[in-house]
Structure 1
Amino acid sequence: MPSARQNLGQQGEDSAVALLAGHGLHPLTRNYRCRMGEIDIITLDGETLVFVEVRQRAHDRQGGAAASITWRKQKRLIRAAEYFLLHNPQHGLRPCRFDVVALDGDASANWIRDAFRVPSP
């Protein structure tokens, strides 16, 4: 049986999927897990493969949901995305980006396109 926190997280992801679907994006997969980490939603925006992190906070006292995506979290998302691309070569030549859907308390969802980029080597 899922915990209250898991239920809240699922509701947040459902809200994010609804927001993205309202803009014509439909998920290829949700909750992609691999040994490198987890990606909440993987979707297509036209030809662009989009890796979406959903963050939810009850309040913004500590900077809000978007501010909670640290460089360490970004690094894990990038590694998981690389793993996904390695194991799904049909998407290997697509342009990619990392988006964030931030849900803060009762405020409407904030979709941040191209929230961060893979650092140059």
Structure 2
Amino acid sequence: MFWQLKLHNNKGISAENRALKYLRARGMKLIHRNYACKAGEIDLVMLDKETLVFIEVRFRTQSQYGSAADSITSSKQNKIRKTADHFLAYHRNHQHRLCRFDALLLKNSPTHHDASQEKLIEWLQGIF
């Protein structure tokens, strides 16, 4: 059974859009967005050449409650792993691929030019 994830958080949607644009500009191909099952949810599933990448997008306007990277706890990592297992079980055409878990950390963005926004994105590859 597939779950339908409903996004009501405009900041979250905007952050995922920024992340997707950033990754596509680096040659990655979108396979699925907001993949959800009972175990959890994965923001972006993409191909980096032949590697299947499960990507967690984190957005922070302030760091007083910890950084975006700090918010990817071991519990969150376990949920992402279980969700990735579910994805692979239902998408057999990707089971042969090497897999990687990445995070895109976004800081509050200025409303002007893309060059400024790139400095506010940190891409952590193979984080767990």
Per the normalisation by structure 2, the TM-score is 0.84
**Aligned-residue CA RMSD in angstroms?**
1.3
Match of 2:58 among 55, 59, 67: 55
Q: Aligned AA for 2:16?
A: E
- How big is the shift at 1:26? 2.0
Does the 8 A contact of 1:17 with 1:26 survive in 2? no
Q: Which moved more, 1:107-116 or 1:70-79?
A: 107-116
Match of 2:97 among 94, 106, 113: 94
Could you tell me which residue of structure 2 aligns to residue 21 of structure 1? 24
Match of 1:109 among 90, 113, 121: 121
Per the normalisation by structure 1, the TM-score is 0.88
Unaligned runs of 5+ in 1: 117-121
Q: Which has the higher strand share?
A: 1
SS in 1 for 2:120: coil
Count of aligned residue pairs for this structure pair = 113
Could you tell me which residue of structure 1 aligns to residue 82 of structure 2? 79
Unaligned runs of 5+ in 2: 1-6, 110-118
- How big is the shift at 1:56? 0.8
- How big is the shift at 1:36? 1.2
Does the 8 A contact of 1:57 with 1:65 survive in 2? yes
SS in 2 for 1:17: helix
Q: Distance in 2 between matches of 1:101 and 1:94?
A: 21
- How big is the shift at 1:93? 1.1
